Amino acid sequence: MSLKTFHLIFVTMLTALSCAFSGWAFAGGRLLAGLGGIATAILVVVYGIYFLKKLKKISYL
């Protein structure tokens, strides 16, 4: 597994963490932190797509 694949896993986990963080924040009444979590999740997904497009030629192995 190359660094590209591992980075993809990392980005996926980071997206999940951002969503979980926003869920935690909303449950605790922290509106701003919750919105920040959602914004971060969107940002990370956009970055993930961008990075995959940029590194199209690099192997997953």
Partner 1 sequence: MEIPYTVEVRPDTGIYNAKLGIWLFLASEVMLFGGLFSAYVLLRVGAEPGTWPHGWQNVALGTTNTIVLALSAITTLLAWVSCKVGQFGRFKFFHACTLLLAATFLCIKVVEYHEHLNNYEIYLTNGQIADGQMVENDPKHDYLIITGREVTDESALIDLRSQKYARETTFQIPRSEIKVMQNYGPWHNDYLALYFTLTGLHALHILAGSIVIGYLWGPGRKLWKTDPARFTNRVEVSGLFWHFVDLIWIFLFPVLYLT
User: How far is 32 from 6, CA to CA, in rounded Å?
Assistant: 31
Angle at 52 between CA 47 and CA 53, to 5 degrees: 100
User: How far is 45 from 40, CA to CA, in rounded Å?
Assistant: 9
Does residue number 20 form part of the binding site for partner 1 (CB under 8 A)? yes
> Which one of 42, 50, 58, 60 is in contact with partner 1 (CB under 8 A)?
58
Does residue number 1 form part of the binding site for partner 1 (CB under 8 A)? yes
Give residues in contact with partner 1 (CB under 8 A). 1-4, 6-7, 9-10, 13-14, 17, 20-21, 24, 28, 33, 44, 47, 51, 54-55, 58, 61
